[in-house]
Amino acid sequence: MKDLSKKIVPAFLVIVFFFLVASLYSKFGNPLAFSVNSSVTNKSDVFTVTGEGTVSIQPDIAYVNIGINKTATTVKQAQSQANEVMNKVIAGLKTLGIDAKNIQTVSYYINPNYDWSSSIQKITGYSANTQLKVKITDIDKVNDVIDSATSNGANQVNNVTFDVENREASEETARKQAVDEANHKAKAAAKAAGFNLGKIISYSESSNDNTVSPIMYKALAVTDQAGGSGTNVQSGSQDIKITVNLSYQIN
Protein backbone atom coordinates (compact mmCIF):
# COMPACT_ATOMS: atom_id res chain seq x y z
CA MET A 1 0.00 0.00 0.00
CA LYS A 2 2.84 2.24 0.83
CA ASP A 3 4.51 1.45 -2.50
CA LEU A 4 1.29 2.25 -4.43
CA SER A 5 1.02 5.63 -2.71
CA LYS A 6 4.56 6.42 -3.72
CA LYS A 7 3.69 5.75 -7.37
CA ILE A 8 0.47 7.83 -7.40
CA VAL A 9 1.99 10.99 -5.90
CA PRO A 10 4.64 11.51 -8.60
CA ALA A 11 2.07 10.88 -11.34
CA PHE A 12 -0.25 13.41 -9.79
CA LEU A 13 2.55 15.94 -9.57
CA VAL A 14 3.36 15.44 -13.24
CA ILE A 15 -0.26 16.11 -14.24
CA VAL A 16 -0.44 19.24 -12.05
CA PHE A 17 2.85 20.46 -13.44
CA PHE A 18 1.60 19.98 -17.07
CA PHE A 19 -1.55 22.01 -16.53
CA LEU A 20 0.41 24.70 -14.67
CA VAL A 21 2.85 25.08 -17.56
CA ALA A 22 0.00 25.07 -20.06
CA SER A 23 -1.79 27.79 -18.10
CA LEU A 24 1.30 29.96 -17.87
CA TYR A 25 2.07 29.51 -21.58
CA SER A 26 -1.45 30.38 -22.49
CA LYS A 27 -1.34 33.54 -20.39
CA PHE A 28 2.14 34.83 -21.14
CA GLY A 29 3.14 33.08 -24.34
CA ASN A 30 1.33 32.18 -27.50
CA PRO A 31 -2.11 30.82 -26.66
CA LEU A 32 -2.90 27.29 -27.61
CA ALA A 33 -5.30 27.70 -30.50
CA PHE A 34 -8.06 25.28 -31.19
CA SER A 35 -10.09 25.85 -34.36
CA VAL A 36 -12.10 24.05 -36.99
CA ASN A 37 -11.58 25.23 -40.56
CA SER A 38 -14.40 24.73 -43.02
CA SER A 39 -14.66 25.93 -46.59
CA VAL A 40 -17.76 25.98 -48.75
CA THR A 41 -17.27 25.94 -52.48
CA ASN A 42 -20.14 27.23 -54.60
CA LYS A 43 -19.53 25.58 -57.89
CA SER A 44 -21.92 26.35 -60.73
CA ASP A 45 -21.59 24.79 -64.16
CA VAL A 46 -21.84 27.37 -66.94
CA PHE A 47 -22.95 26.95 -70.53
CA THR A 48 -22.03 29.65 -73.08
CA VAL A 49 -23.54 30.04 -76.51
CA THR A 50 -23.04 32.52 -79.38
CA GLY A 51 -25.64 34.10 -81.64
CA GLU A 52 -25.36 36.40 -84.65
CA GLY A 53 -27.74 38.89 -86.18
CA THR A 54 -27.31 40.63 -89.54
CA VAL A 55 -29.38 43.40 -91.07
CA SER A 56 -28.83 44.55 -94.65
CA ILE A 57 -29.54 48.26 -95.00
CA GLN A 58 -29.82 50.73 -97.81
CA PRO A 59 -28.07 54.06 -97.10
CA ASP A 60 -30.50 56.95 -96.89
CA ILE A 61 -28.12 59.91 -96.44
CA ALA A 62 -24.90 61.03 -98.09
CA TYR A 63 -22.14 63.55 -97.44
CA VAL A 64 -20.23 65.22 -100.26
CA ASN A 65 -17.18 67.47 -99.91
CA ILE A 66 -17.02 70.10 -102.64
CA GLY A 67 -13.92 72.22 -103.14
CA ILE A 68 -13.20 75.48 -104.95
CA ASN A 69 -9.65 76.53 -105.69
CA LYS A 70 -8.75 79.77 -107.46
CA THR A 71 -5.37 81.35 -108.21
CA ALA A 72 -4.76 85.07 -108.86
CA THR A 73 -1.97 87.61 -108.63
CA THR A 74 -3.32 89.24 -105.45
CA VAL A 75 -5.04 87.97 -102.32
CA LYS A 76 -8.12 90.06 -103.02
CA GLN A 77 -8.48 88.72 -106.56
CA ALA A 78 -8.09 85.08 -105.47
CA GLN A 79 -10.54 85.57 -102.64
CA SER A 80 -13.06 87.34 -104.86
CA GLN A 81 -12.95 84.60 -107.51
CA ALA A 82 -13.35 81.81 -104.93
CA ASN A 83 -16.25 83.58 -103.25
CA GLU A 84 -17.98 84.16 -106.58
CA VAL A 85 -17.83 80.46 -107.45
CA MET A 86 -18.86 79.43 -103.95
CA ASN A 87 -21.96 81.62 -104.13
CA LYS A 88 -22.92 80.06 -107.48
CA VAL A 89 -22.38 76.54 -106.11
CA ILE A 90 -24.49 77.21 -103.03
CA ALA A 91 -27.27 78.76 -105.11
CA GLY A 92 -27.30 75.69 -107.34
CA LEU A 93 -27.49 73.36 -104.33
CA LYS A 94 -30.44 75.27 -102.91
CA THR A 95 -32.17 74.97 -106.29
CA LEU A 96 -31.93 71.18 -105.86
CA GLY A 97 -33.68 71.45 -102.50
CA ILE A 98 -30.60 71.24 -100.27
CA ASP A 99 -31.38 73.04 -97.02
CA ALA A 100 -28.96 75.83 -96.03
CA LYS A 101 -28.35 74.13 -92.66
CA ASN A 102 -26.94 71.13 -94.55
CA ILE A 103 -24.29 73.21 -96.33
CA GLN A 104 -21.27 73.78 -94.11
CA THR A 105 -17.93 75.46 -94.78
CA VAL A 106 -15.33 73.11 -93.32
CA SER A 107 -12.17 74.93 -94.45
CA TYR A 108 -11.16 78.25 -95.98
CA TYR A 109 -7.59 79.36 -96.58
CA ILE A 110 -5.40 81.53 -98.81
CA ASN A 111 -1.80 80.58 -99.49
CA PRO A 112 0.97 82.36 -101.39
CA ASN A 113 2.50 80.66 -104.44
CA TYR A 114 6.30 80.80 -104.71
CA ASP A 115 8.78 80.71 -107.55
CA TRP A 116 11.68 78.47 -106.53
CA SER A 117 13.55 78.64 -109.82
CA SER A 118 16.13 81.09 -108.45
CA SER A 119 17.95 81.32 -105.16
CA ILE A 120 15.64 84.14 -104.12
CA GLN A 121 12.16 83.15 -102.96
CA LYS A 122 9.57 85.06 -104.94
CA ILE A 123 5.78 85.20 -104.53
CA THR A 124 4.07 84.79 -107.89
CA GLY A 125 0.46 84.83 -106.75
CA TYR A 126 -2.06 83.49 -104.27
CA SER A 127 -4.39 80.50 -104.10
CA ALA A 128 -7.74 80.69 -102.33
CA ASN A 129 -9.38 77.42 -101.37
CA THR A 130 -12.70 76.70 -99.70
CA GLN A 131 -14.31 73.37 -98.89
CA LEU A 132 -18.02 72.77 -98.42
CA LYS A 133 -19.51 69.72 -96.72
CA VAL A 134 -22.98 68.99 -98.04
CA LYS A 135 -25.43 66.64 -96.33
CA ILE A 136 -27.89 65.09 -98.77
CA THR A 137 -31.02 63.66 -97.16
CA ASP A 138 -32.51 62.58 -100.50
CA ILE A 139 -30.10 59.85 -101.58
CA ASP A 140 -31.29 60.03 -105.20
CA LYS A 141 -29.84 63.54 -105.52
CA VAL A 142 -26.19 62.64 -104.90
CA ASN A 143 -25.23 62.64 -108.58
CA ASP A 144 -27.25 65.81 -109.22
CA VAL A 145 -25.48 67.61 -106.39
CA ILE A 146 -22.04 66.75 -107.80
CA ASP A 147 -23.04 67.68 -111.35
CA SER A 148 -24.56 70.98 -110.21
CA ALA A 149 -21.49 71.92 -108.16
CA THR A 150 -19.00 71.15 -110.91
CA SER A 151 -21.07 72.88 -113.58
CA ASN A 152 -21.12 76.01 -111.38
CA GLY A 153 -17.34 76.12 -111.07
CA ALA A 154 -16.34 73.69 -108.27
CA ASN A 155 -13.13 71.92 -109.27
CA GLN A 156 -12.72 69.48 -106.34
CA VAL A 157 -14.85 66.60 -105.06
CA ASN A 158 -12.83 65.05 -102.24
CA ASN A 159 -15.10 62.25 -101.07
CA VAL A 160 -18.61 60.90 -101.00
CA THR A 161 -19.81 59.13 -97.85
CA PHE A 162 -23.00 57.06 -97.60
CA ASP A 163 -24.58 56.31 -94.24
CA VAL A 164 -27.85 55.61 -92.43
CA GLU A 165 -29.67 58.33 -90.53
CA ASN A 166 -31.16 56.02 -87.89
CA ARG A 167 -28.41 53.43 -87.46
CA GLU A 168 -29.47 52.62 -83.88
CA ALA A 169 -32.77 51.08 -85.03
CA SER A 170 -30.96 48.73 -87.42
CA GLU A 171 -28.44 47.78 -84.73
CA GLU A 172 -31.29 46.99 -82.33
CA THR A 173 -32.90 44.70 -84.91
CA ALA A 174 -29.60 42.86 -85.46
CA ARG A 175 -29.10 42.58 -81.69
CA LYS A 176 -32.55 41.02 -81.20
CA GLN A 177 -31.84 38.51 -83.96
CA ALA A 178 -28.54 37.57 -82.31
CA VAL A 179 -30.12 37.08 -78.86
CA ASP A 180 -32.99 35.04 -80.30
CA GLU A 181 -30.52 32.80 -82.14
CA ALA A 182 -28.40 32.32 -79.01
CA ASN A 183 -31.47 31.42 -76.93
CA HIS A 184 -32.63 28.94 -79.55
CA LYS A 185 -29.21 27.27 -79.65
CA ALA A 186 -29.05 27.07 -75.85
CA LYS A 187 -32.48 25.45 -75.52
CA ALA A 188 -31.76 22.98 -78.31
CA ALA A 189 -28.41 22.00 -76.76
CA ALA A 190 -29.95 21.59 -73.29
CA LYS A 191 -32.67 19.33 -74.67
CA ALA A 192 -30.19 17.21 -76.62
CA ALA A 193 -27.67 16.90 -73.77
CA GLY A 194 -30.24 16.46 -71.02
CA PHE A 195 -29.53 19.40 -68.74
CA ASN A 196 -31.67 22.30 -67.51
CA LEU A 197 -30.83 25.92 -68.25
CA GLY A 198 -30.75 28.34 -65.37
CA LYS A 199 -30.61 32.12 -65.44
CA ILE A 200 -28.33 34.14 -67.72
CA ILE A 201 -25.28 35.21 -65.72
CA SER A 202 -23.32 37.14 -68.34
CA TYR A 203 -23.84 38.92 -71.65
CA SER A 204 -21.41 40.42 -74.13
CA GLU A 205 -21.65 41.66 -77.69
CA SER A 206 -19.50 42.92 -80.53
CA SER A 207 -20.16 44.42 -83.94
CA ASN A 208 -18.39 44.09 -87.24
CA ASP A 209 -16.96 47.60 -87.65
CA ASN A 210 -15.76 46.86 -91.17
CA THR A 211 -19.26 46.19 -92.47
CA VAL A 212 -21.01 49.06 -90.71
CA SER A 213 -18.51 51.76 -91.61
CA PRO A 214 -19.79 54.39 -94.02
CA ILE A 215 -18.82 53.90 -97.65
CA MET A 216 -16.27 56.51 -98.73
CA TYR A 217 -15.02 57.44 -102.18
CA LYS A 218 -11.89 59.57 -102.20
CA ALA A 219 -10.68 61.73 -105.08
CA LEU A 220 -13.83 61.11 -107.05
CA ALA A 221 -13.32 61.59 -110.78
CA VAL A 222 -16.19 63.62 -112.18
CA THR A 223 -17.13 62.92 -115.79
CA ASP A 224 -16.81 65.85 -118.14
CA GLN A 225 -20.36 67.08 -118.56
CA ALA A 226 -19.65 68.48 -121.96
CA GLY A 227 -19.38 64.89 -123.10
CA GLY A 228 -23.04 64.35 -122.39
CA SER A 229 -22.81 62.12 -119.31
CA GLY A 230 -22.95 63.11 -115.68
CA THR A 231 -21.73 61.64 -112.41
CA ASN A 232 -22.78 58.07 -111.67
CA VAL A 233 -22.19 57.19 -108.00
CA GLN A 234 -24.04 54.20 -106.55
CA SER A 235 -24.80 53.94 -102.84
CA GLY A 236 -24.96 50.14 -102.70
CA SER A 237 -25.96 48.43 -99.45
CA GLN A 238 -24.39 47.72 -96.07
CA ASP A 239 -24.59 44.90 -93.53
CA ILE A 240 -24.86 45.63 -89.82
CA LYS A 241 -23.72 42.53 -87.93
CA ILE A 242 -23.85 41.99 -84.16
CA THR A 243 -22.53 38.94 -82.29
CA VAL A 244 -23.65 38.17 -78.72
CA ASN A 245 -22.39 35.71 -76.11
CA LEU A 246 -24.83 34.44 -73.47
CA SER A 247 -23.71 32.40 -70.44
CA TYR A 248 -26.30 30.33 -68.55
CA GLN A 249 -26.17 28.53 -65.25
CA ILE A 250 -26.80 24.80 -65.56
CA ASN A 251 -29.29 23.49 -63.01
Half-sphere exposure of 154 toward its Cβ, with a 13 Å CA cutoff? 29
DSSP assigned state of 244: E
CA distance 88 to 151: 10
Gyration radius of the chain over CA positions: 41
Is residue 30 pLDDT above 80, yes or no? no
DSSP assigned state of 102: G
In the chain, what are the domains? 61-163 (3.30.70.2970)
CA distance 171 to 176: 9
Q: Which pLDDT tens digit goes with each residue over 40-72? A: 435 468 999 999 999 998 888 999 999 999 999
Q: Which pLDDT tens digit goes with each residue over 186-201? A: 999 999 999 999 999 9
- How buried is 99 (Cβ within 10 angstroms: 0-12 exposed, 13-18 middle, 19+ buried)? exposed
CA distance 6 to 20: 22
Is residue 35 pLDDT above 80, yes or no? no
CA distance 143 to 57: 20
Alpha helices in the chain, H assignment, sequence order: 2-28, 75-95, 142-151, 167-193, 209-212
Q: What is the pLDDT of residue 217?
A: 40
